[in-house]
Chain A
Amino acid sequence: MSTPKVMARCRWMRRSTQPREVRPMKIRKIWIALPAGLLALSPLLPMNAQAGRGSSPAAIKRAISSGSVDAIEAELERAEHLVCASCVDDIRPLIDNGNEKVRKVAAWWLARRGVRKAIATEMQTRLGGSDSTLARNAADVLGEFRQTSAISSLTTALKNGGLSAEARAHCAAAIGKIGHLNGETALIEAAGNADATVASAGLTGLRSLRGFSHPAAILSALSSSDANVRSEAVYVLGHVKMAVGVTELMNLVATDPSADVRKRAAWALGEMGSGAAAASQTLSTAATSDASPLVRSIAQVALAKLSH
């Protein structure tokens, strides 16, 4: 065996044509009241960030302790390639952070580690439990992991009435994030859920599925008593751009009590182009007579699109 060789950086690291990131300051504690002296230590050199490069265990700890969502996101993104087994212990608890962005960036980082499989198993177990907060967080993690294999357990949790609406909504969002058509049935079912939060999340998730093309399956959501659900359903139709639900959308433009829904329904008809030519008069009326100036202006835009 050759002589032991200690390397601060592995020689596998690719050669860069750009200056490397300047190492973060080695400052354990930074007090806002004493910035000048401490900050004088910082390098005032040009910096070139490389994706996934330039972090350190100390920088990660410092970002987490700052409580700044921005700092945590920035540092974990920079730590994408960092070899740091001990960092797992710092980052893993963040998947139960109260801030969704923190949970998600922690899950994103952990998805790139060997510990991913164990965490995925744990998260799927959580989904089978009764703690809604844990289930919500588990859904966020599995969404970030983007493993198709998680769709089944997310679907089961989505249907579990024992979990809070928030948790189930996060399950729907996670299925959408995974983006695989295997999640289509679950999300269509969720779109019809009596709870508006779950239904909205199901409709939002459908728009993220790669290749989703069954907008007719969600038409019933257009008559939901909840304006947000109606809006999300309208977005699905506009997103797919197929001439589906034209009559229903025309009714919404003309009669919905929510200006947001009327506005979005007008937009969706415009997205369908010539396929929604039948909506011409409805849009024309809305463009001139709707009580909301925003509905009027969007209806005008939609009207112009019908001829395309």
Chain B
Amino acid sequence: MTSGTDQQVLVASEGDVVTARRRIREYAIAAGFSLTDVTRIVTAASELTRNLHLHAGGGRVSWKTVLDGDRVGMEMSFVDEGPGIADLERAFEPGYTSGRGLGMGLSGSKRLMDEIEIDSAPGHGTVVVARKWLR
């Protein structure tokens, strides 16, 4: 899998969540996604960016174009140095929440995106990578 140049937004406040959402929307439209897929991508980005803001005290959102054989897609990464997630399997269960929020962020984003990967350990932050392929 090869990839293009990263674009990124540092998330330190709620305003940054809105900025990240808007720039990801513009990028996804330019990449050629349908309006429904753009909405899926932006909504997943909103959930995962809010996780950075609420649970990790901020972090970094980046996105880029990825190529895999004939497939072209968009990959978003959500990186924080927050408390990390102890139970990764449970984190994907609908309704599982560590506190604020509905607990729909990870499980819901998984349904909206084609692929989602998470790497985390208590005390070592969390990295979530989410991909959507152009159809």
**Bound pair (A, B):** no
Interface residues of B (CB under 8 A from A): none
Interface residues of A (CB under 8 A from B): none
